[in-house]
């Protein structure tokens, strides 16, 4: 499209160019003709016109003089006559000067001569008349007045001279009219001549222009035929080549530079075709190679990306300012969940580590910072991120610095491992070890105490038996016995708590166990407390140590009694079967059984302060007074529940009461069957 426009433009430009050229030539011609006319008009203006104007002035004045002279001579007013005479004298002088000018400028001398003759005659007759009138006035002694003079001779002379003057004035007037007619004729001739010349030039110009237009059209056609069409043909051929046609033919006739160019182009296109074929072969080879390489590259990229996304380790990259510039999607998710980080992409690692949710040990942070500053690799740098109020993840980062080809430091690339599980396992292991050590210690202490209590208990009992009841020391001995019994109870609790061996597992009906235990318990409940029992007999069998379950139940119910104290209150014990999803548990995924027995003990006693809620399962933690609680009860309850694969959940409101829910797995019938089979 663009090329077509250019060819049209080319034609137009050619035509306009020749049009302009022709126009310029004809204009130059016209201008020269007009210049000649202008010269003539200027000549007229400078030469003929002043003459004509002077002649016109002469004619006007001559006539005026002719008319005025007789009037002046015959006027009665002396002073007026003197003024007119002076003026007429002046006018005669002016007329003479003008005539001289005309003569100098070569005005028609015959006409001038006649005018000169008339003027001379008029002036003479005027002077004669004036002299005669003056003589008459002198004779009469008063100014001349027609009909008033006595001297007839002088009067007759004046009348004769007056007639002569009149005749001369008429002659002068005639010659002046003649001059005026000549002048107007002369001007008319001059103008008509000029007009004719101009009109003629206009026609000439029109003809020249027409010829120029025709010539321009011819030039345009020539250009179109010989240049534009060929250029267009070449352009079309080139377009075809561009569009993929491989023929090298350029449709050109004749023999000139453009057809030469067309032929050269044809040759070029042919060679191009050959080279293109070679090139295509080469390209297809290279394309295949490239496709293969690309495929490999894509595969490895996908592999890498998959690894990047699914790897349990997370990757991150720091730039040279230690800003986090890249990170794995998982880590980004974690990071985004933090309230302070909406701008994680432009966050300095130091800033990140100082976020309130992120905790780092001071020494570790120091070592990490030293590594970054010295551009060395950092390994196993541990920190933790508090993702939610209840969840903290522990992370371990390692990374290497990377440099560009000039050895310029570019940043760090590294991986982060989520070591939360490991950390938790470590914590649990530590806790277990601690509890084991504590259990061993407690067991050892209890053993020693049992040996100490043994003689006290035996001797106090024997002594008490042998002592008359009215003895003054009977009461003291009784106290010995009671205190040593209490000591024995404490030691038993400690031993029960510290017992690390597997409970004696058997299958039993949980409902029956609770029923028996609660019957015993009921007898020890004060009369101010009402005990409501609601046991579902269809709850089923559980596998466990019945004595431990019983101890657990008694512990919880005793706590309920203690929580109510001496006030009146109510304890409700319920037993029912619940499905796994109904177990009130933090993570139900930890539960492996389908059905659970729910033992619920609720009271309306003092409740548990939320501040100490997290401590109630700690061994030796008690709120009861000295000698009333060992601080081992709930710890033991929790231990028994855990050993039985159960869940213990406590909800409590201070001064309103507590609810202890124990969930114990119900054994499937097949499991019970297997167990019985084994026993046989």
Residues binding other proteins (CB under 8 A):
443-444, 446-459, 461-462, 465-466, 484, 487-488, 491-492, 495, 499-501
Name which of 323 and 447 has its Cβ closer to other proteins.
447
Contact between 364 and 398 under an 8 Å Cβ cutoff? The reply is: no
CB of 449 to other proteins, least distance (A): 8
Please name the residues in contact with 598: beta carbons below 8 A apart, sequence gap of 6 or more. Answer: 574, 575, 576, 577, 578, 583, 661, 662, 663
In terms of CB distance, is 323 or 488 closer to other proteins? 488
* Cβ nearer to other proteins, comparing 443 with 607: 443
Cβ atoms of 601 and 651 closer than 8 Å: no
Minimal distance, residue 496 CB to other proteins, in Å: 9
Q: Considering the complex, what minimum distance in angstroms separates the CB of residue 499 from other proteins?
A: 7
Judged by CB, which is closer to other proteins: 46, or 465? Answer: 465
Instruction: Please give the DSSP secondary-structure letter assigned to residue 45.
Output: I
DSSP-derived secondary structure for 426-446? HHHHHHHHHHHHHHHHHHHHH
- Could you tell me the smallest distance in angstroms from the CB atom of residue 589 to other proteins? 33
Rounded to a whole number of angstroms, the minimum distance from the CB of residue 648 to other proteins is: 24
Q: Minimum distance from CB of 388 to other proteins (Å)? A: 41
Return the number of the residue (227 or 456) whose C-beta is nearest other proteins: 456
Which phi-psi region, left, alpha or beta, contains residue 106 (left: φ > 0; alpha: ψ -120 to 50)? Answer: left
The CB-of-455 to other proteins minimum distance in angstroms stands at 3
Residue by residue, DSSP assigns 447-512 as: HHHHHHHHHHHHHHHHHHHHS-TT-TTHHHHHHHHHHHHHHHHHHHHHHHHH--SPP--EEEEHHH
Tokens standing for residue 109: 């001398």
Please enumerate, as own/partner, the contacts of 124-128 that have beta carbons within 8 Å and a separation of 24 or more.
124/168, 125/161, 125/164, 125/165, 125/167, 125/168, 126/69, 126/73, 126/88, 126/165, 126/168, 128/161, 128/164, 128/165
Residue 156 or 451 having the CB closest to other proteins: 451
Q: How far is the CB of 622 from other proteins (least distance, A)?
A: 22
Residue closer to other proteins (CB basis): 287 or 504 = 504
Helix then strand count (H, E) for the chain reads: 16, 14
Q: Between residues 106 and 455, which has the closer beta carbon with respect to other proteins?
A: 455
Sort strands 313-319 and 657-665 into parallel, antiparallel or unpaired.
unpaired
Q: Which is nearer to other proteins, 449 or 508 (CB)?
A: 449
Question: Which candidate, 645, 662, 535, 651, places its Cα nearest to that of 598?
Answer: 662
Judge contact between 22 and 220, C-beta under 8 A.
Answer: no
| CA neighbor of 248 nearest in space, from 273, 231, 227, 223 | 273
Strands 409-418, 313-319: parallel, antiparallel or unpaired by DSSP? antiparallel
Nearest approach, Cβ of residue 626 and other proteins (Å): 22
Q: Residue 594, class by beta-carbon neighbours within 10 Å (0-12 exposed, 13-18 middle, 19+ buried)? A: exposed
Complex with other proteins: residue 404 or 502, whichever CB lies closer: 502
Q: How far is the CB of 452 from other proteins (least distance, A)?
A: 8
- Please, are residues 172 and 178 in contact by the beta-carbon 8 Å criterion? no
CA distance 219 to 131: 88
In the complex, the smallest distance separating the C-beta of residue 490 from other proteins, rounded to whole angstroms, is 11
- In the complex with other proteins, the residue whose CB is nearer, 135 or 495, is 495
Closer to other proteins by CB, 112 or 442: give it: 442
Smallest distance, Å, CB 477 to other proteins? 13
Residue 457 contacts residue 467 (beta carbons within 8 Å): no
Shortest spacing between CB 488 and other proteins, in angstroms: 5
DSSP string, 222-280: HHIIIIIHHHHHHHHHHHHHHHT---------S-SHHHHHHHHHHHHHHHHHHHHHHHH
What residues have CB less than 8 Å from 348, skipping those under 6 apart?
321, 322, 323, 324
- Is 607 strand, coil or helix? coil
Residue number, 210 or 462, with CB nearest to other proteins? 462
Plot region of 664 (φ>0 → left; ψ -120 to 50 → alpha; else → beta): beta
Q: Find the shortest distance in angstroms from Cβ 514 to other proteins.
A: 24
- Whole-angstrom Cα distance, residue 633 to residue 558? 10
Closest CB 397 distance from other proteins, rounded Å: 44
Nearest to 348 by CA among 416, 412, 415, 419: 412
497 or 596: CB nearest other proteins: 497
Outline where 44-151 has alpha helix (H): 49-74, 78-104, 109-140
How far apart are the C-alpha atoms of 144 and 166, rounded to whole Å?
18
Residue nearer to other proteins on the CB measure, 473 or 612: 473
């Amino acid at each position: 499209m663009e090329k077509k426009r250019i060819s049209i433009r080319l034609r137009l430009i050619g035509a306009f160019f020749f049009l302009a050229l022709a126009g310029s030539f004809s204009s130059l011609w016209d201008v020269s003709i007009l210049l000649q006319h202008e010269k003539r008009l200027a000549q007229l203006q400078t030469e003929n016109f002043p003459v004509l104007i002077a002649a016109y002035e002469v004619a006007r004045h001559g006539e005026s003089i002719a008319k005025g002279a007789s009037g002046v001579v015959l006027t009665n007013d002396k002073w007026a006559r003197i003024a007119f005479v002076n003026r007429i004298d002046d006018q005669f002088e002016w007329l003479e000067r003008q005539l001289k000018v005309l003569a100098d400028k070569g005005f028609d001398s015959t006409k001038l001569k006649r005018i000169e003759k008339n003027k001379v005659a008029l002036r003479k007759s005027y002077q004669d008349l004036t002299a005669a009138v003056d003589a008459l006035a002198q004779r009469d002694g008063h100014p001349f007045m027609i009909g008033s003079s006595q001297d007839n001779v002088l009067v007759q002379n004046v009348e004769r001279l007056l007639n002569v003057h009149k005749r001369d004035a008429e002659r002068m007037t005639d010659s002046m009219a003649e001059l005026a007619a000549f002048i107007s004729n002369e001007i008319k001739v001059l103008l008509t001549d000029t007009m004719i010349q101009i009109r003629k030039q206009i026609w000439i110009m029109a003809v020249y222009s027409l010829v120029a237009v025709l010539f321009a059209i011819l030039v345009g056609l020539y250009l179109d035929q010989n240049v534009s069409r060929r250029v267009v043909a070449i352009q079309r051929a080139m377009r075809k080549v561009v569009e993929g046609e491989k023929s090298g033919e350029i449709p050109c006739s004749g023999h000139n530079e453009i057809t030469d160019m067309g032929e050269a182009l044809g040759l070029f296109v042919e060679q191009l075709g050959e080279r293109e074929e070679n090139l295509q072969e080469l390209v297809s080879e290279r394309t295949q190679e490239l496709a293969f390489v690309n495929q490999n590259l894509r595969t490895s990229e996908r592999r890498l990306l998959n690894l990047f996304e699914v790897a349990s380790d997370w990757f991150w990259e720091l730039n040279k300012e230690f800003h986090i510039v890249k990170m794995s999607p998982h880590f980004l998710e974690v990071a985004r969940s933090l309230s302070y980080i909406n701008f994680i992409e432009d966050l300095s690692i130091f800033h990140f580590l100082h976020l309130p949710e992120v905790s780092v040990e001071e020494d570790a942070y120091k070592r990490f910072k030293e590594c970054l500053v010295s551009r060395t690799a950092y390994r196993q740098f541990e920190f933790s991120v508090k993702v939610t109020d209840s969840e903290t993840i522990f992370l371990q980062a390692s990374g290497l610095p990377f440099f560009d080809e000039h050895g310029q430091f570019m940043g760090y690339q590294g991986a982060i491992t989520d070591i939360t599980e490991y950390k938790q396992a470590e914590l649990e292991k530590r806790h277990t070890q601690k509890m084991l050590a504590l259990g061993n210690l407690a067991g050892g202490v209890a053993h020693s105490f049992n040996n100490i209590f043994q003689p006290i208990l035996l001797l106090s009992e024997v002594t008490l038996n042998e002592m008359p009841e009215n003895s003054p020391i009977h009461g003291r001995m009784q106290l010995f016995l009671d205190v040593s019994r209490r000591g024995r109870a404490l030691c038993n609790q400690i031993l029960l708590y510290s017992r690390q061996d597997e409970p004696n597992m058997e299958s039993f009906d949980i409902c029956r166990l609770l029923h028996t235990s609660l019957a015993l318990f009921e007898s020890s409940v004060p009369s101010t407390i009402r005990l409501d029992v609601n046991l579902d007999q269809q709850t089923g069998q559980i596998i466990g140590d019945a004595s431990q379950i019983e101890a657990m139940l008694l512990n919880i119910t005793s706590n309920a009694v203690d929580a109510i104290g001496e006030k009146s209150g109510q304890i409700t014990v319920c037993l029912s079967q619940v499905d796994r999803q109904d177990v009130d548990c933090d993570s139900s995924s930890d539960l492996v059984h389908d059905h659970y027995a729910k033992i619920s003990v609720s009271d309306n006693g003092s409740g548990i302060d939320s501040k100490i809620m997290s401590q109630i399962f700690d061994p030796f933690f008690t709120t009861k007074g000295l000698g009333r609680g060992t601080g081992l009860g709930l710890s033991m309850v929790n231990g028994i529940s855990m050993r039985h694969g159960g869940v213990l959940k406590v909800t409590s409101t201070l001064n309103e009461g507590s609810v202890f829910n124990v969930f114990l797995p119900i054994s499937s019938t097949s499991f019970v069957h297997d167990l019985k089979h084994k026993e046989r």
